[in-house]
């Protein structure tokens, strides 16, 4: 387990859950990366920041890229990242993840495919089901996928306990019949492409 602290100042336009009154949002929220594991996020390449309105947090990656074809390494076709996040917020609240927005860029040759999938869970609980999204070449553009959870199915952190939130993400590329190099990335050199997780808050 690698311990680190990371933060990024990001301007967000996060949503407020439609069935959550604004006075149910806590006065402050901070998010700290306390564990980093995976080939897609070497030490120091993942940063986290909570939105100013406390309705979401973002994860920004700088080296999260899977590729296949030509002279790429056989292990490059799959990259993954698991982050252990510690959230701090006032007593009397608990939270779950209502929605996750995944963003990035892909360049896929004709005959190649790319895949993004992710899930999340609280320490000591069962992981949520992995949700997958695919791209098919030829494709060379930004991409965005959204995973939403029904309000009745949202898993909340236990009241009065501060459990780590584990966030998992994976990227894959299959070269198939393509020629040349294909890749899919969940990163950005300017920090504008990131993964955003939307909170669902409730009082204990």
Q: Do 48 and 30 contact (CB within 8 A), yes or no? A: no
Return d(Cα 75, Cα 80) in angstroms, integer. Answer: 11
The domain limits of the chain are 26-203
pLDDT tens-digit readout, 186-204 = 964 343 446 888 999 999 9
pLDDT tens-digit readout, 10-53 = 222 233 333 443 447 899 999 999 999 999 999 889 888 888 88
pLDDT given for residue 162 in this prediction: 87
**What mean pLDDT is predicted for residues 52-73?**
92
pLDDT given for residue 22 in this prediction: 40
Residues near 83 by beta carbon (within 8 Å), at least 6 away in sequence: 33, 35, 36, 41, 46, 48, 59, 166, 167
Distances in whole angstroms, Cα of residue 39 to Cα of each of 4, 53, 84, 94, 197: 16, 32, 15, 31, 21
Beta bridge partners, 121, equal: 166
pLDDT given for residue 153 in this prediction: 86
Q: What mean pLDDT value characterizes the chain?
A: 84
Q: Do 20 and 201 contact (CB within 8 A), yes or no? A: yes
The domain over range 26-203 is classified in CATH as 2.60.98: no
Residues near 153 by beta carbon (within 8 Å), at least 6 away in sequence: none
Question: How many residues appear in the chain?
Answer: 204
Residue 9 has pLDDT above 50, yes or no: no
Burial 57-96 (b: 16+ CB within 10 A, else e): bbbbbebbbbbbbeebeeebbbbbbbbbbbbebeeebbbb
pLDDT tens-digit readout, 48-58 = 888 888 899 99
Q: What is the pTM for the complete model shown?
A: 0.82
Element (H, E) at 182: strand 182-185
Q: Do 26 and 201 contact (CB within 8 A), yes or no? A: yes
pLDDT given for residue 21 in this prediction: 38
pLDDT tens-digit readout, 95-144 = 999 999 999 999 999 999 999 999 999 998 888 878 999 999 999 999 99
Residue 6 has pLDDT above 60, yes or no: no
């Amino acid at each position: 387990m690698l311990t680190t602290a990371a933060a990024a100042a990001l301007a967000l336009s996060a949503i407020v859950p439609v069935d959550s009154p604004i006075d149910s949002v806590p006065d402050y929220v901070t998010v700290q990366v306390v564990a980093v594991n995976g080939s897609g996020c070497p030490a120091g390449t993942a940063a986290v920041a909570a939105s100013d309105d406390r309705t979401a947090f973002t994860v920004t990656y700088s080296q999260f890229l899977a590729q296949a074809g030509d002279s790429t390494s056989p292990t490059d076709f799959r990259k993954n990242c698991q982050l252990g996040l510690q959230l701090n917020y006032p007593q009397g609240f608990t939270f779950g993840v209502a929605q996750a927005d995944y963003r990035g860029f892909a360049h896929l040759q004709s005959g190649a495919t790319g895949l993004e999938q992710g899930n999340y869970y609280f320490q000591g609980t069962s992981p949520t089901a992995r949700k997958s999204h695919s791209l098919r070449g030829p494709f060379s553009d930004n991409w965005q996928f959204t995973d939403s959870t029904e309000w009745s199915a949202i898993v909340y952190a236990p009241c009065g306990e501060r459990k780590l939130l584990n966030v998992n993400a994976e990227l894959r590329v299959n070269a198939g019949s393509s020629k040349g190099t294909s890749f899919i990335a969940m990163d950005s050199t300017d920090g504008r492409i990131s993964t955003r997780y939307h909170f669902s808050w409730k009082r204990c």
